[in-house]
Chain A
Amino acid sequence: AQTVTQSQPEMSVQEAETVTLSCTYDTSESDYYLFWYKQPPSRQMILVIRQEAYKQQNATENRFSVNFQKAAKSFSLKISDSQLGDAAMYFCAYRPTGANSKLTFGKGITLSVRP
């Protein structure tokens, strides 16, 4: 069974600084998808970024980028130029390929941004 581990329950970053959130996963599959979701206090789950395992290039979405290390089964999220609105819970998620594949989430990490 696939598992997703986010070992850091909380992190804090100074506004305008850079922070990296860690995630590791376990799978025997060779092709899959990885995601980072943001959950602000409103509880809405928002997709931040996604990565296809067969792509070596790390995904980037504006201030958000990932460091995908397939051999190490590591998928960290880097937030540059942190903003107060980035304060939220962040969930790492895994999904194998296939139309009917389900997401497996990590426990999440609470990110606070200091003004």
Chain B
Amino acid sequence: DAGVIQSPRHEVTEMGQEVTLRCKPISGHNSLFWYRQTMMRGLELLIYFNNNVPIDDSGMPEDRFSAKMPNASFSTLKIQPSEPRDSAVYFCASSLARTSGDSYNEQFFGPGTRLTVL
């Protein structure tokens, strides 16, 4: 089991550039979450998908942020144009959401992408 895979692990870009973060969830999981971690705001949920459909995107900060999940094994988080205040660690997590039985629905996190916008 490879776990949740995120790429790149580190990204340094200049203000105004487009940034694309990628995530491959654990095989068989049907829910995927994007989080942002900063010193000031801690861990914030940006958006999450269930069966490739966005369920809640209320955490997406503004229109510069967009997320897609074209299939069950891949998701992207795009920032266009990027700004220095977007500098953070971005985590992807996945879980198997069950509607009955054990519904802990534990989320497994990827290693994160550290984004620096100059």
Contact yes or no, B111 A99, CB < 8 A:
no
Q: Once the chains bind, are B48 and A102 in contact (CB under 8 Å)?
A: yes
A11 touches B (CB below 8 Å): no
**Size of interface on B: residues with Cβ below 8 Å to A:** 25
Q: Which residues of chain B from 53 to 108 have a CB within 8 Å of any chain A CB?
A: 55-56, 89, 91, 93, 97-99, 103-107
Q: A44, A99, A103: which contacts B45 (Cβ < 8 A)?
A: A103
Q: Does B118 contact A (CB under 8 A)?
A: no
Q: A99-B50, A100-B55 are in contact. Are A50 and B104 (CB under 8 A)?
A: yes
Q: Is the CB of A44 within 8 A of B107?
A: no
Shortest Cβ distance from residue B61 to the other chain A in the assembled complex, whole angstroms: 16
Q: Which residues of B contact A98 (CB under 8 A)?
A: 103
User: What are the residues of chain B within 8 A of A36 when measuring CB–CB?
Assistant: none
Closest to B113 in A: A43
Bound-state CA distance A100–B98 (Å) is 9
Report the Cα distance A42→B89, complex, angstroms: 12
A interface bracket (residues with beta carbon within 8 Å of B): 20 to 34
Q: Is the CB of A105 within 8 A of B43?
A: yes
A43 touches B112 (CB 8 A): yes
Query: Contacting B111 at CB < 8 Å: which of A33, A42, A97?
Result: A42
A97 to B33, CA, bound (A): 17
Contact A99:B109 (CB < 8 A) given known A105-B42, A107-B42, A108-B42: no
Is there an interface contact between B103 and A91, defined as CB atoms closer than 8 Å? Answer: no
A84 within 8 A of B: no
Q: Please state if A100 and B50 are interface contacts (CB–CB under 8 Å).
A: yes
Whether, in the assembled complex, A16 has its beta carbon less than 8 Å from a beta carbon of chain B, the answer is: no
A78 to B95, CA, bound (A): 27
- Which chain A positions have C-beta within 8 A of B91? 45
Nearest 4 pairs of A and B residues by beta carbon:
A45-B109, A99-B97, A105-B43, A107-B42
A-B contact pairs, 25 of them (CB 8 A): A33-B104, A43-B89, A44-B112, A47-B107, A50-B104, A50-B106, A91-B42, A91-B43, A97-B103, A98-B103, A99-B31, A99-B97, A99-B98, A99-B103, A100-B31, A100-B48, A100-B56, A101-B105, A102-B33, A102-B56, A103-B33, A103-B45, A105-B43, A108-B42, A108-B43
